Amino acid sequence: MKICIGGFSFFNTMNTGKMDTFGYLETSKYRYNLKEVDLWNGTFAGCREDIFRLPEEDYIRKLREALDEKEMKVINIAIDGAHFWDEDPEKRKMLYSNALAYLQVAKTLGAQSLRVDTGDKNSSTDSEEQFEYIVTQFQDYARKAADLGLIVGPENHMGASKNPYFLKKVAEAVDQPNFGLLIHMGRWSEGEDEGDRLLAPWAYHTHFDGRTAGTPQGLELVKTLQDAGYNGYWGIEYNAPENQYAEMEWAIASVKRTLYDAKNKNS
């Protein structure tokens, strides 16, 4: 089954000093027998202390070496500290510069896709200036990413991007073949009953969480995405409050059962 663990899932363990990105690779491969990873730059050295700081090239090279040694591949990298919209024009320039730098990081790591947010948690769906800026930047970003063979796009993560109607409007306006959406299933500020269905045609990656793994809602959302043609990986982003290794075992087993049930009901 196409399952991978989102790097944020071990945020609490990392905060205790018991894991880093290299430990996350070891855990995915040898504890859970998964050969694919769904990285988050918040686990990278330097970025953990300052999310707007770019990782060192030497660190990224070592990370690629670790991936190659374990014969692992990167399905997606979720990038924070590089969202497109900010009220401050100067900060927008810095953020886009970061986003561009992460294209090279993704290339070095052999990633298939890169998640970059539309804006921060204060972003609005009502600003035409914001909408036009996001669309223009994503069009430019997607064209640059296409030269590297990358799929790029936002997630329904925070702020305006949690509104499915806004995100659909953005996707339609960007209209680039390598632009897509990371669908965090069921994570909507409104329109929760139809958000996943509306955005399913643009899905390039997905995230389960603790609310959807192993639930009837999760099963329905999987079927919705599959009915729209989704055949990618099912990421699990579940940062359990404690006992994270055992909780992740539960989450993986729950997602496997959900995918098994979806396959049987569709056959």
Tell me what pLDDT residue 112 has.
99
For the chain, give the mean pLDDT: 97
The pLDDT-based confidence of 265 (bands split at 50, 70, 90) is confident
Q: Could you list the residue range(s) of the whole structural domain that residue 171 is in?
A: 3-266
Handedness of CA 42, 46, 48, 53 (dihedral sign): negative
Cα-Cα end-to-end distance for the chain: 16
Residue that the structure tokens 């809602």 belong to:
217
**DSSP-derived secondary structure letter, 53:** S
pLDDT of residue 143: 98
Q: 200: pLDDT confidence band, cut at 50, 70 and 90? A: very high
Mean pLDDT of 166-192: 98
Residue 168 has pLDDT above 80, yes or no: yes
How confident is the model over 205-212, as a mean pLDDT?
98
Give the chain's domain count: 1
CA distances from 160 to 48, 127, 229 (A): 25, 10, 26
Q: pLDDT tens-digit profile of 57-92? A: 999 999 999 999 999 999 999 999 999 999 999 999
Q: How confident is the model at residue 266 (pLDDT cuts 50, 70, 90)?
A: low
**pLDDT reading at 220 higher than 80:** yes
Q: How far apart are CA 222 and CA 200, in angstroms?
A: 10
DSSP assignment, residue 119? B
List the one residue out of 148, 91, 143, 78 whose CA is nearest residue 117: 78
**In this prediction, what percent of the chain has a pLDDT beyond 70?**
99
- Per the CB < 8 A criterion, the answer to whether 203 and 181 are in contact is yes
**Model pLDDT, residue 126:** 87
For residue 127, count other CB atoms closer than 10 A to its CB.
Answer: 15
Give percent above pLDDT 90 in the chain: 97
| CATH number of the domain where residue 179 is located | 3.20.20.150
pLDDT value at 122 more than 80: yes
What three-state secondary structure class fits 125?
A: coil
> Quick check: 267 pLDDT over 70?
no
pTM over 0.85: yes
The pLDDT, as a whole number, for residue 5 is 99
Q: What is the pLDDT of residues 250-263, one digit of tens each?
A: 999 999 999 999 99
DSSP string, 188-228: -SS-TTTHHHHHGGGEEEEEE-TTTTTSHHHHHHHHHHHHT
The two beta strands, 73-79 and 113-116, are parallel
CB 8 within 8 A of CB 228: no
CB-based contacts of 228, cutoff 8 Å, min separation 6: 197, 200, 201, 203
Q: Which two tokens stand for residue 226?
A: 């599959």
* Residue from 20, 37, 31 nearest 237 by CA: 37
Task: Please give the average per-residue pLDDT across 183-187, as a whole number.
Answer: 98
**Three-class SS state of 6:** strand
Structure tokens at 236: 């699990």
* Residue 247 pLDDT greater than 60, yes or no: yes
Quick one: average pLDDT of 8-13? 98
